[in-house]
Structure 1
Amino acid sequence: MALPSLPLQQHLPSTSALAFGCMGLGGTWDDTPYTEAHVAHAHAAVEAALDIGVTLFDHADIYTRGKAESVFGELMRRQPSLRDRVVLQSKCGIRFEDEEGPKRFDLSREYIVAATEASLRRLGTERLDILLLHRPDPLWEPEEIALAFRQLREQGKVRHFGVSNMNAGQMAWLSRSLDQPLVVNQFEIGLGHLEPIESGTTFNDVQAGTRPGALAWAGTLEHCQQHGIQVQAWASLARGRFSGETARDPADEAARRLVHTVAERHGVSTEGVLLAWLMRHPARIQPVIGSSHPARIRACADALRLTLTRGEWYALYEAARGHALP
C-alpha cells in the first residue's frame, strides 16, 4: 500500500517519509575534536539511513557543539555525490553560555544569518534546503526574522524555512510577517510524549490537567494540517522506553508489552510499531530517527509497510497514557 504524500513533498518532492536526526554524530558535547572513528560511525549511520530510503537529514548548529555538521560535511567531501542525494535541514537559535550571558535563545536577524553561514561552512555546502528556528525566543521580533529569511533566500543560502518546538499561536504570529510559508514544525510527539495529541482529546475534561503543558499545544496539529506545514517528530522512538525487553519505568510496562505484541502480530520491529503509530495520524507526521545505531535505523523501515488499525492505534494510545480516555 502506497504511503500518502507528505505536506513537505509539495516543496521538496524527494523528501522521504522518514528523516534521520544527526544529533548523535560527531562525538561529545564539548570542544574535543572529532576523530576518524567518529567519521566512521557517522558513515555507518548515514549509509543505514540511505539504505532504507531516507533522504532528509536533520541537523542543528548546537549538535555536539557543531561537530555533527562538521562530520557530515566530511562525509560529503569524501563522497561529493552525497549532497545531491539528500535534503539538508538544520536549525539555529540556541546559544550556549558565553561571556555575553547564560544559555539563551536568539532569533535576532544578525544571529540567524551568522549561525546559518557557520552551518554552511561546517557542512561544506552552499545552501540548506530547510532552515528551522530551534526554539521560540521571548525577545523575538517577527519582522526582524522575516528580514533574515529574505536575506538568506535571496543569497541562495536557504531554500525553505520552518520552526521547531512552536505552538499554533507562535506559528501564526510569525507567519504574519513572512512572505513565504513555513514548511515544517518539528516538535516532540509520540507514545513517549502525548501532549500535542492530548491537547485535542482532553481539552474540555478534567483529564486535561493530568499532563502539565498539554494545553499549550492546543490546535497545533490542526494548524499544521490546515496550512500544509510538515509535522516532524523528534524523540519518535521515545528513547527506547517501549522497544526494549524491559521497561525502565514500571509505568511504561503495559505500553511496552503492547508494542511488542503488535510487533509480533505483524511480523515487524518494535521501532516500526512506534513510528507507524505516528504515521497513522492524518497530519502525515514525518518521524525523525534519533538513533545512530545502524541496526536500529534499519529496523525503522518496518514502519513503511505497517498501517495500524484504528483499534490498534487507540490501544497503544491508551496504554501509553496509562488510563482510559474520558
Structure 2
Amino acid sequence: MQKIKFNSSKVISSRLIYGCMRIAGDNTPADKTKGKLALRTALEVGYTHFDHADIYGAGHCESLFGELLTELKQETPDIREQLIITSKAGIRPDPQRYDFSADYLTTSVENSLKRLNVDYLDMFLLHRPDYLFNAEQVAQTFEQLKASGKVKHFGVSNFSPSQLSLLQSALDKPLLVNQIEINIHNISSLTDGSLDQCQQLGITPIAWCPLGGVVYPAWGNTFSKADEQRIAAELARQAELYNCSTWQLILAWLLKHPANICPIIGSTTPERIVAAKQALSIVYNHADWYRLLEARNGYPQP
C-alpha cells in the first residue's frame, strides 16, 4: 500500500482510505459480522486510515469499529498507534442543519471517542460548512480540543476554497485535508479552485464517492443515457488497455492528479477492498486522462 504524508504534520496515511459509513449495515448480527470482516480485510492489505462520522449508522458504525478495536488490541496491543482514525461532525437532523457551535462539536468528539473506544482522534473534520460559522469561534473550539488531547489534527469536508481560506485564516496550525466529492460525474473541484488550493497550501484532497457515475449513480446524477454509454465505451477501451476493471481505472484517473487525491473505498466486499489496491500500480497515461474527460464531457477540450 502506498503511503502519503499530510501537510507539515507527522500524519502518514495509506493512500487509499477505508470509509466506514456502511460497516454496520442494519446493525443486525449478520451485518456487523460482515462489517468486521471488511475492516479486518482492509487492515490486512495495508489500509491504515479509517474514516468515520458521528452520523454514520446513527453512531453504530463507530461503535462497531470500537468493538473490533478491542478485539484487535488483544492480538496486537499497539494497533491503535498504527492507525489513523478520523471522524467528522457538523450535520444535525430535525431540522436538517449544519452546526459548528462549540458545545455540539465538543460533545460530538467526546461521544465519538467513547464509541470508537479510543482516547483521541488523529483527525477531526467539519462535515459540511455551517453558513453561520464564526471562524474565530471554531478556531477556539479546535484549540480546546487539541489542548485536551482529544484531537491531534483538523480538516474540513465539502468546503469551498473561500470557506477553507476563511477558517484557515483564524488557525495557527494548517488544516490537513478537505474531503470532497470527486468522481467522473462531479468534476467541479477541477474548475472551482478546490484542487488548486490544495496544491498551493499542501492540503490533501480526500475523494468521497470516487466511483460515482461508474459503479453506482453519483449524487444528483445528471448523466443522460448517451453520456453513460459514451463514458462506458471509453472506460471499457482503457480498461482493456491497462488490463484492469473500469472502476479500478477510475481510481487511477483520480490518483493521476498532482494534488495527490486520496480516494475513500467504502465497499464491504473483501474482494473489492483488496482489488482497489491495483489502481495504485496503474501507470496512467496523460493523454488517456484527457480522453476520458472528453468522453465525460461529450466534446473535446477547447
- Compute the TM-score of the two structures, normalised by the length of structure 1: 0.85
Alpha-carbon distance change, 48 to 322 in structure 1, aligned in 2, over 3 angstroms: farther
Distance 1:156 1:15 in 2: 20
Alpha-carbon deviations, 1:225-249, whole Å to 9, x = none? 1111010000011164489xxx994
Alpha-carbon distance change, 116 to 153 in structure 1, aligned in 2, over 3 angstroms: same
Shift of 1:321: 2.1
Distance 2:61 2:39 in 1: 12
Contact 1:160 1:183 in 2 (8 A): yes
Distance 1:311 1:281 in 2: 13
Distance 2:295 2:271 in 1: 27
- Aligned residue in 2 for 1:18: 16
- Aligned residue in 2 for 1:111: 104
1:92 pairs with 2:68: no
What does residue range 158-177 of structure 1 map to in structure 2 within 5 Å?
158-177=151-170
Distance 1:194 1:25 in 2: 27
Shift of 1:107: 0.5
- Aligned residue in 2 for 1:45: 38
* Alignment equivalent of 2:177, drawn from 184, 191, 213: 184
Distance 1:18 1:71 in 2: 21
Gaps of 5+ in 2: 218-222
* Alignment equivalent of 1:75, drawn from 36, 44, 68: 68
1:257 pairs with 2:233: yes
Gaps of 5+ in 1: 29-33, 200-217
| Higher alpha-carbon deviation: 42-51 or 106-115 | 42-51
Contact 2:239 2:246 in 1 (8 A): yes
Distance 1:220 1:134 in 2: 16
Alpha-carbon distance change, 248 to 72 in structure 1, aligned in 2, over 3 angstroms: farther
Q: What SS does the aligned partner of 2:166 have?
A: helix
Contact 1:128 1:157 in 2 (8 A): yes
Contact 2:24 2:57 in 1 (8 A): yes
* Alignment equivalent of 1:138, drawn from 117, 131, 134: 131
- Aligned residue in 1 for 2:264: 288
Shift of 1:324: 1.9
Shift of 1:74: 0.8
1:307 pairs with 2:300: no
Identity of aligned residues (%): 40
- Aligned residue in 1 for 2:220: none
Distance 1:223 1:251 in 2: 29
Alpha-carbon distance change, 13 to 93 in structure 1, aligned in 2, over 3 angstroms: closer
What does residue range 98-247 of structure 1 map to in structure 2 within 5 Å?
102-197=95-190, 199=191, 218-238=192-212, 240-241=214-215
| Higher alpha-carbon deviation: 43-52 or 84-93 | 43-52
Distance 1:161 1:228 in 2: 14
State how many pairs are aligned: 293
Shift of 1:44: 1.6
Matched to 1:281, the amino acid is H
Distance 1:133 1:7 in 2: 21
Alpha-carbon deviations, 1:39-70, whole Å to 9, x = none? 21112211222233211110111011111111
Shift of 1:270: 2.3
Distance 2:258 2:42 in 1: 24
Q: What SS does the aligned partner of 2:14 have?
A: coil
- Compute the TM-score of the two structures, normalised by the length of structure 2: 0.91
Matched to 1:117, the amino acid is E
Contact 1:39 1:75 in 2 (8 A): no
Shift of 1:163: 0.1
Distance 2:232 2:42 in 1: 25
Q: What SS does the aligned partner of 1:160 have?
A: strand
